[in-house]
Structure 1
Amino acid sequence: MDTFDTIIVGAGSAGCVLADKLSAAGLSVLLLEAGGSDRRFWIKLPIGYGRLFYDETLNWAYQTEPCAALNGRSLYWPRGKVVGGSSSINALVYYRGLPHDYDDWEKMGAAGWSWNDVRPVFEAVENRDGRGTGPLGIHRIDADAHPLKERYFQAARELQLPITDDMVTQPEGAGLYQITTKHGFRSSAADAFLRPALKRGNVKLETDALATRILFEGKRATGVEYRRYGHLVQARASFSVILSGGAVNSPQLLQLSGIGPGPLLQQHGIAPVLDNAAVGANLQDHLAVTYYYKSKVPTLNDELNSLWGQFKAAAHYVLTRRGTLSLSVNQCGGFVRSSPAAGRVDMQLYFNPITYPSPKPGEVRRIDPDPFSGFILSFQPCRPTSRGTITIRDTGIDTPPKIAPNYLATEQDQAEAIAGGRLLQRLEATPAIQAIIRETIPPVLGPMTDADLLADFRARCSTVFHPTSTCRMGASAADSVVDNRGRVFGIESLRVVDASIFPTVTSGNTNAATIMVARKMGDAIVADTKS
């Protein structure tokens, strides 16, 4: 049995950062990834992420349980199953979150995780078009964003919404999203953090390695069993085992290894190592709904739906590493208050110069441009209060866990769905937007009542792929899984470091926050090795 200082389960956004930080401190690291290599054309090409959502060689491709509040619909949950994890298949948006997101974390018992604590960590990982010395490439899209952006900004001004020139450092307002690219290529966690770590010689990356259980001696984690190419292998960790599988896989592996709700473990005949009801609980996620419009002016549809347009875009990209193929389809948006009465930012907006067929019930979303000029308006409530669960179905690692998001379970979440719809109605009604609408693609937003808005949200909303909080960080095992250093309560030498430990979901896209969490936890782990 091989022995390492640390074993990290999951080479996603968090695992790659940890491998870099721990190996730089001289620790030997075994990094296990259930998926394969990320050296794929469509991963490196920024616009190519639309091809990755449904590729089950790169993606866990989960389905949720039917949700009563969404008319019994089951939602598709893509999660990265590849080196780089979801940072290799996501839509590239880089957003730190809002300062109050992290101040709330500290108030909930995560000492040392306030905005003042985490801001320097964000800054340490960022390289924003040459500003900053961090490894993660972050790019402003101002020069290449579609000209339709000016209509969006004019509409925001007409609504007296704030405008931000830099959504990373000035997070409130309508603006252009910044994306995780460098020199025209995706800057995933694997590219930014793992590849430098692998050059040190003290990191061993095992791909196609599915962790099956954590090994224990009493209440101390000693290693990991994993399956690779059909064979079970065990590896030992002399200092710590770290789970970085994300909000779905980390609680799943804990439960399969005997750490989780006692009744659940008993139901499946799993010998309990630790009874903790918070493992797999407190699941949070963002929901959004989108409205579609045919446009009077050209949009990305015109460019991407013709062979000549595709050729020009490809030639421009090859010669300059710029243009449409170097971008995400998420170009304009922002974080705003749904009304002047809102105490703080409560809505994320999207304005994209592209349309694609909306999914039918039970159909996986496609990202193929429509054969006409079109654009979308979309909103996402920032801080949902509904809570769901991740639970194992049986004792097999190959059985997908039961994902029960419990969406729209609270009156507050329902009220915010209506408030977001009202905000979008006002945005749609501005002269700037009305001037470019040739035709509204049903359902028609304008005449909807509050009841209509909520009914439409229930019928058509979809996840924005931001699950968090299923191994929540807090002050004690009474309601949390890990402490403020990622240590699992009641177990020695076992940590969880990924989006599952967020006390609450941040207000927007979660990849930046996941990278920050891993970098900050990496500092804590290195310090603990020296104590």
Structure 2
Amino acid sequence: MSETSATFDYVIIGGGTAGCLLANRLSAEPNHRVLLLEAGKTDSYPWIHIPVGYLYCIGNPRTDWMYHTEPDAGLNNRVQRYPRGRVLGGCSSINGMIYMRGQARDYDAWAKITGDDSWSWQNALADFKAHENHYRLDQGADPITGNNSRFSDMHGSGGEWRVEKQRLSWDVLDSFADAAEQAGIEKIDDFNAGDNAGVGYFDVNQRSGWRWSSSKAFLRPARGRSNLTIWTGSQAQKLSWSTADNGQPRCTGLSLSRAGQTVQVTANREVI
């Protein structure tokens, strides 16, 4: 196996949901040379883009790492499939497209544990809104006002991450929601306002009926930038370390396998 080398400012290991966003944001600065590494292939597989196609992507080694859990005593020692995306876009290219931010109290707990208020719900919410393009804020989303201001405190418009109302609607699901309400569970129309408790339909990461992955949202608009390099089929092997001026260890790069070669990559600024 031959060996070569390359140098960048930032090296992002993993072209999944977060990796695609980071590649977009870091390469927006023209002076930053950014490398995005993905062990899987490009997201050209047709089933990725059709919403029902997740059935053909999960459990498929072309797009899934094919992980499984350890035997679970609570499940009679059964082993469960644990899908993880092995493709540009990562899990956002193979999952069920449910848009779910999580619980506000979890973010606030992380802020308390870390002592870093940037993890708090209010700070995270500002970031969510900044990259969001939510259907409820589309012009004409509200037939009376032309803009649904009730959701503007929680959602953003004009960002890359498209969120739409799912097109699926079944009588049996509506009946289940009615039964849940009768049992004391509140019906809600927004699972992403900081409290997931309730019953209702999920919003989805789709655009006009097609999957809207992080690769489509964040990576495609940045692909034309000369300072962004994307390597698929590139498997990280070993991180390189040195000692920083403050005496702390610092990751300075990595070795990876790509197209039959071992490549030594140096990061002048950061490995992510």
TM-score by length of 1: 0.44
Structure 2 match to 1:507: none
Match of 1:264 in 2: none
1:205/1:130 Cα in 2 relative to 1: closer, same or farther (>3 Å)?
farther
Higher relative contact order (CA 8 A, sep 6+): 2
Q: How well do the aligned residues superpose, as a CA RMSD in angstroms?
A: 1.6
Give the Å deviation of 1:54. 1.1
* Residue of structure 2 aligned with 1:117, choices 116, 119, 123: 123
Unmatched tracts of structure 2, length 5 or more: 138-156, 244-248
Shift of the alpha carbon at 1:130? Answer: 6.7
- The separation in 1 between residues aligned to 2:58 and 2:225, in whole angstroms, is 32
Report the residue type matching 1:230 in the other structure.
G
Shift of 1:44: 0.3
Specify the alignment match of 2:239 in structure 1. Answer: 214
Q: CA separation in 1, counterparts of 2:241 and 2:173? A: 55
| Matching of residue 12 in structure 1 with residue 16 in structure 2 | yes
Structure 2 counterpart of 1:82, one-letter code? V
Look up the equivalent residue of 1:241 and give its one-letter code. Answer: V
Matched, 1:172 2:197: yes
Rg larger in 1 or in 2? 1
Q: Give the C-alpha shift of residue 110 in structure 1.
A: 4.7
1:72 matched residue in structure 2 = 77
Q: Is the 8 A contact 1:7 1:224 kept in 2?
A: no
Deviations 1:211-241 (A, max 9, x none): 0011123432221111012211111110001
Distance in 1 between residues matched to 2:87 and 2:38, nearest whole Å: 7
1:138 aligned to 2:163? yes
Amino acid at match of 1:215: S
Q: Distance in 2 between matches of 1:201 and 1:7?
A: 15
Letter in 1 for 2:21: V
Contact 2:11 2:36 in 1 (8 A): yes
1:184 match: 209
2:259 aligns with one of 225, 229, 236: 229
Residue in structure 2 matched with residue 162 of structure 1 by the alignment: 186
Deviation per residue, 1:379-414 (Å, 9 max, x gap) = xxxxxxxxxxxxxxxxxxxxxxxxxxxxxxxxxxxx
How far did residue 69 of structure 1 move?
Answer: 4.0
Equivalent residues in 2 for 1:275-314, closer than 5 Å: none
| Residue-by-residue CA offset, 1:460-514 (whole Å, 9 max, x unaligned) | xxxxxxxxxxxxxxxxxxxxxxxxxxxxxxxxxxxxxxxxxxxxxxxxxxxxxxx
In 2, the alpha carbon distance for the partners of 1:164 and 1:134 equals 24
Q: Where in structure 2 are the equivalents of 1:328-477 lying within 5 Å?
A: none
Report if aligned partners of 1:124, 1:134 keep a CA contact under 8 Å in 2.
yes
Mapped pair 1:92 → 2:97: yes
Distance in structure 2 (CA, Å) of the matches to 1:213 and 1:58 = 23
Gaps of 5+ in 1: 243-531
User: Which residue of the partner structure matches residue 203 of structure 1?
Assistant: 228
- In the aligned structure 2, how far is the partner of 1:71 from the partner of 1:213? 38
C-alpha separation between the residues in 1 aligned to 2:174 and 2:80? Answer: 34
Instruction: Give the direction of change, closer, same or farther, for the CA distance of 1:220–1:107 in structure 2 (3 Å limit).
Output: closer
Work out whether residues 6 and 263 of structure 2, in 8 Å CA contact, stay in contact via their aligned partners in 1.
no
CA distance in 1, matches of 2:136, 2:235: 37
Identity percentage over the alignment?
A: 38
The letter of the residue matching 2:161 is: L
One-letter identity of the residue aligned with 1:229: A
- Per the TM alignment, residue 72 of structure 1 is displaced from its structure 2 partner at its CA by 2.6
Displacement of 1:171:
3.5
User: Which one of 11, 33, 39 corresponds to residue 38 of structure 2?
Assistant: 33
Please report how far the alpha carbon of residue 119 of structure 1 lies from its aligned counterpart in structure 2 after TM superposition.
0.9
In structure 1, the residue matched to 2:7 is 3
SS in 1 for 2:184: coil
Partners of 2:29 and 2:129 in 1: CA distance: 20
Task: Kindly provide the CA deviation profile for residues 264-319 of structure 1, in whole angstroms up to 9, marking residues without a partner as x.
Answer: xxxxxxxxxxxxxxxxxxxxxxxxxxxxxxxxxxxxxxxxxxxxxxxxxxxxxxxx
Instruction: Tell me which residue corresponds to 1:107.
Output: 112
User: Compared with structure 1, are the counterparts of its residues 154 and 64 closer, same or farther at alpha carbon in structure 2 (3 Å cutoff)?
Assistant: closer
Q: Which amino acid is 1:120 matched to?
A: A
User: In 2 relative to 1, CA 22–108 (structure 1 residues): closer, same or farther, beyond 3 Å?
Assistant: same
- CA 144–75 in structure 1, closer or farther in 2 if over 3 Å, else same: closer
Q: Secondary structure at the match of 1:94?
A: coil
For 2:135, the equivalent position in structure 1 comes to 129
Matched AA of 1:9? I
1:55 match? 60
Question: In 2, distance between residues paired with 1:156 and 1:182?
Answer: 30
In structure 1, distance between residues paired with 2:9 and 2:256: 17
1:157-194, Cα deviation, whole Å (9 max, x unpaired): 21121111222236431111011101211110100001
Residues 199, 213 of structure 1: CA spacing in aligned structure 2 closer, same or farther, 3 A cutoff?
A: same
Q: Secondary structure at the match of 1:236?
A: strand
Change (3 A) 1:148 1:114: same
Mapped to 1, the partners of 2:172 and 2:70 lie a distance apart of: 38
